[in-house]
């Protein structure tokens, strides 16, 4: 199948309460409305001037007639955005509205998917715990040039407070290593708000 034979993914939205279909373009930073479609549903006096040029992915300049603020609705989600009216070309929904409306694209199927902080917090409560998180079963490997000889320094006795961190499982002892260096723990002052 050639690129020209592939079907575009189209989304049905309401722009200022008017039903329209736009081509989904995940490469476009902004959403565009063709002048033909604009003239069919809106008055020219609604257009504001737009002086900065819009470039296509091939760096060609896209001629704009102007822009206008619009309320766009997809399913139950609404967003206010600036739509750029172009002389030639298709009407596109770009990344600005895809993100603002929480549009999830799965093949040619589109759906709304927005997550709130409360959703994430209830799904992953361990991430929002007051307790200190731990990574278990992971060994950190430092990449060193093969021509560098390992350094082995004399260990110091652990302070009682460091021993508590070891007992709690925040840090772990290593039985053998080519590189040996004593650890130094710098305790931060507790910050209190008055």
Delineate the domains of the chain, giving CATH numbers in brackets.
8-114 (2.40.70.10)
Spatial separation of the C-alpha atoms in residues 130 and 193, rounded to whole Å:
18
pLDDT digits (tens, 9 = 90+) for 114-131: 555 566 677 777 777 777
Nearest partner of 90 among 176, 5, 19, 25, judged by Cα:
25
Q: How many helices (H) and strands (E) does the chain have?
A: 4, 10
> Among candidates 34, 41, 92, which has minimal Cα distance to 66?
34
Which helix H or strand E contains 61, and what residues bound it?
A: strand 61-62
Better pLDDT: 62 or 14:
14
Specify the pLDDT at position 87: 84
User: How far apart, in whole angstroms, are the C-alpha atoms of residue 91 and residue 111?
Assistant: 20
Check: pTM over 0.75? Answer yes or no: no
Distance CA 147, CA 154 (A): 23
Quote the DSSP letter at residue 126.
Answer: G
Report pLDDT for 119.
Answer: 66
- Split at pLDDT 50, 70, 90, the class of 140 is confident
Q: What local confidence, expressed as pLDDT, does residue 1 receive?
A: 37
Span 62-83, pLDDT tens digits: 878 888 888 999 888 888 988 8
> Would you give the DSSP letter of residue 48?
B
């Amino acid at each position: 199948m050639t690129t020209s034979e592939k079907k575009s993914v189209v989304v049905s939205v309401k722009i200022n309460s008017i039903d329209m279909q736009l081509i989904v373009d995940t490469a476009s930073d902004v959403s565009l409305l063709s002048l033909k479609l604009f003239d069919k549903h809106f008055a020219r006096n609604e257009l504001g001037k737009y002086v900065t040029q819009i470039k296509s992915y091939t760096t060609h300049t896209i001629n704009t007639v102007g822009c206008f603020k619009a309320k766009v609705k997809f399913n139950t989600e609404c967003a206010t955005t600036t739509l750029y009216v172009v002389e030639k070309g298709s009407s596109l929904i770009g990344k600005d509205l895809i993100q603002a409306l929480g549009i999830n694209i799965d093949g040619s199927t589109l759906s709304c998917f927005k997550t709130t902080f409360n959703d994430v917090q209830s799904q992953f409560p361990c991430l929002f715990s007051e307790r200190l998180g731990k990574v278990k079963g992971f060994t950190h490997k430092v990449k060193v040039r093969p021509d560098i000889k390992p350094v082995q320094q004399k260990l110091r006795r652990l302070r009682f407070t460091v021993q508590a961190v070891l007992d709690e499982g925040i840090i772990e002892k290593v039985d053998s290593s080519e590189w040996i260096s004593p650890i130094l723990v710098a305790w931060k002052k507790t910050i209190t708000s008055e």
